[in-house]
Amino acid sequence: MSTKPSSLSRLDRVFTLLESGSSSVARKAAAKQLGDVQKKHPQELNHLLAKLLVYIQHTEWDTRIAASESIAAVVGEVPKWEPKPCQKNSQEPDFPIDESKLTFAKFDVDRVLTGSHLLLGSTGDEYMMPTTEGMTGEDIVTKQRKMLEKRLGLSLPGNASMGVTSKELFNDDDLLINESVIKIKEEAPSVKQTCKTMMSQLTTEGMSSRERNRAKRKAKLFMKQKSRDNSKPDPDQPSRKKIKEEENLGIPPDQIPEHNSSSDEWTEWPMEWISSNLMNLLLSSLWESRHGACIALRQIIIKHGGGCGKIRGMNYDELTDHHQSWLTDLAIRLLCVITLDRFADYISDQVVAPVRESCAQTLGVIAGHL
């Protein structure tokens, strides 16, 4: 009994190193160790990937890159899924193409661009006015001033001063909240839909009732992701507490499917579950989640792109059709992200678009299988 807690604590230390390693070499070493864990305990695949799903959405660039390298190390220890075609006498297909998958026949880039909200850096909730219910005008100004000084970097730990205060930049009148303007903005109807709603409409048009029910079940995953996007932790809280909160935003253990360590017992592609979760993240309102999901999917397709969409018991034509349908669906989702993403960052005197660049790289990997 004494070995199990020790083992768990060692694994926790590996994940801590993955998040806050002092160098890229240390983070890569942590990624390699996670690959060794998967090699020794193949039945823990989905639990490891679920844990990494939290770090793939981390706000730190280096942590997301390390998480994607960890995913590559973990899935690299999983046997490739290559089911043999079955010989069937009946001409009727037992595995019809999933109508909820996106196809280029359904894809209208103009409709996506004009009918959906753009994907920016975040939802903008962090810039919303703080709650002022029950506060006097003086208290509101004080709270607003502290918030501005914090965002402008004018406040230091321990109430230390930099010699510059916000009073030199803003007077009290500038910090008073105009309630009428806020009310107008709250009541203003939104003409455009969220990207997830638009994608849902594209996948359900022309579907049967049975197929619509299947799509509704998938939509529940979208709603769970949306709730996770709206509960981003405060970056000023202690690191240990932050990790715990991020873990709470992950997938509950009872919703993580068990993985059979014997490939002979598999009935479908073992990466289907984690890939579905990552595809949901592609449409996240947080650019870090979109970027992390994209680079993680690229690692999975590099290692296991030849088996996606395939199910045991299919004949040769069904294996080929389902494989191409799965890849096409992902490619269109990536195209939607490229179309709607507007996040850009600055490095020295250059502008980079990490989400769109990563999507393009992932599309290049997918093209090798189409």
For the beta carbon of residue 270, count every other beta carbon within 10 angstroms: 24
Helix (H, G, I), strand (E, B) or coil at 341: strand
Which range, 72-76, 218-222, 344-348, is most confident?
Answer: 72-76
Helix (H, G, I), strand (E, B) or coil at 320: helix
Alpha helices by DSSP H, 188-271? 195-204, 209-229, 239-248
Give this prediction's pTM.
0.70
Q: Above 80 in pLDDT, residue 305?
A: yes
Cβ–Cβ < 8 Å for 298, 367:
no
Query: In this predicted model, which residue has the larger pLDDT, 299 or 171?
Result: 299
What is the rounded distance in angstroms from the CA atom of residue 230 to the CA atom of residue 11? 29
Best mean pLDDT range from 97-106, 159-168, 245-254, 272-281: 272-281
275: which residues sit within 8 A by CB, 6+ positions away? 297, 300, 308, 330
- Residue 231 three-state SS: coil
CA-CA distance, 10 to 37, in Å (whole number)? 11
Structure tokens at 359: 């999507």
Q: What is the pLDDT of residue 99?
A: 80
Structure tokens at 165: 């205060």
Highest mean pLDDT among 1-15, 143-157, 271-285: 271-285
Note the pLDDT tens digit of each residue in 98-119: 888 888 888 888 888 887 788 8
The percent of residues in the chain predicted with pLDDT above 70, rounded, is 65
